[in-house]
Structure 1
C-alpha cells in the first residue's frame, strides 16, 4: 500500500485477535494508524474518526463531486 502512489495516503487499520506486543509494535512502526484487538469495542471504533475525517478532507476520492 505504501509503495503505491494512489494508495499510500489511505490510513491503514489492523484488526487482529493476536495480542502479541511485538507484532502490534511492528505494524505501527510500519505505518499502520491503529491496531485494534478483536473483539472490537465501540470505544475502539471511535479512535478511527480522526483518521477518517483527515482522509475525507485530504483525498480527492472522498470529496463530493
Structure 2
C-alpha cells in the first residue's frame, strides 16, 4: 500500500494504453476533466516547480498537446 502512495509513475510511464483509452473516450463522446495525481517521493524531492513541470509535460504528451 505504501508504495502505491509514494512511488507512482508519471502519465505514460505505466501500463495504461493511453491511445486506446483516449480513443474509446472520444468514440463515446466523453469530454473528461484531466487532473493527474502523481504521488512520488523522488519527484517531490526535485521541488514543487520541477515536479509540476514534469507532470504537466507527461500529461500533455499522452493527450497529444
Q: Same fold (TM over 0.5)?
A: no
Between structures 1 and 2, the one with greater strand share: 1
Report which structure shows greater RCO (CA 8 Å, sep ≥6): 2
Task: Give the structure-2-normalised TM-score.
Answer: 0.29
Task: Give the structure-1-normalised TM-score.
Answer: 0.29
Between structures 1 and 2, the one with greater helix share: 2
